[in-house]
Amino acid sequence: MDITLVRGDITEQRTDAIVNAANSSLMGGGGVDGAIHRRGGPEILEECRKLRAGHYGRGLRTGQAVATTAGRLAAKWVIHTVGPVYSRSEDRSELLAACYHESLRVADSLGARSVAFPAISTGLYGWPMDGAARIALAAVRQADTSVDDLRFVLFDDAAYAVFEAHL
């Protein structure tokens, strides 16, 4: 698998799937989640509503992942995963790693060969970039997946530099 870093906007990636750092409601939110829903259009929210009406009635649990259409995005699918809120008193690194493992499992079930990830949990959920980069890169390197083009799409130069140091 080729792992590359991209400085930019995940909604512009031409990959089979992009990963959304979603909230548990699957109804859109801020940050990456909001950008994906705004740019992708109402088709994404409609599929999320159907998921909520079905198996995910109580929402998606931390570390789980599920796919929807990508609507008007260049990607074919959006894989939604709920990252953990950072805690200084509790080690939640396994939950963060599970977001990457589960997203790749969903990507494999879709037949996706290229996937773009954001830095999950580093925005509103407060995960320090250094720890998040270390966990994310270790998780994807350990994954048993058919994905051969894996990208981390990082919104700013500081995040890019941290991921580059760990890559």
List pLDDT tens digits, range 13-66: 999 999 999 999 998 888 899 999 999 999 999 999 998 887 767 789 999 999
For 12, the token pair is: 């512009």
Catalytic-residue membership of 157: no
pLDDT band of residue 145 (cuts 50, 70, 90) is very high
Q: Could you tell me the CATH number of the domain that includes residue 73?
A: 3.40.220.10
The count of domains in the chain is: 1
Q: What CA–CA distances, in Å, run from 103 to 8, 98, 135, 146, 166?
A: 20, 8, 14, 12, 21
| Dist CA 63 CA 65 (whole Å) | 7
Q: Residue 133: which domain range? A: 2-166
Selecting among 2, 9, 33, 91, the annotated active-site residue is 33
Mean per-residue pLDDT, 127-152? 98
Q: Which of 11-15, 47-51, 68-72, 102-106 has the lowest mean pLDDT?
A: 47-51
- pLDDT at 52 (0 to 100): 82
Cα dihedral sign, 119-120-124-127: negative
Amino acid at 37: H
Nearest in space to 153 (alpha carbons), one of 39, 2, 18 = 18
Q: What's this model's pTM, rounded to 2 decimal places?
A: 0.96
Phi-psi sector, 8: left (phi>0), alpha (psi -120 to 50), beta: left
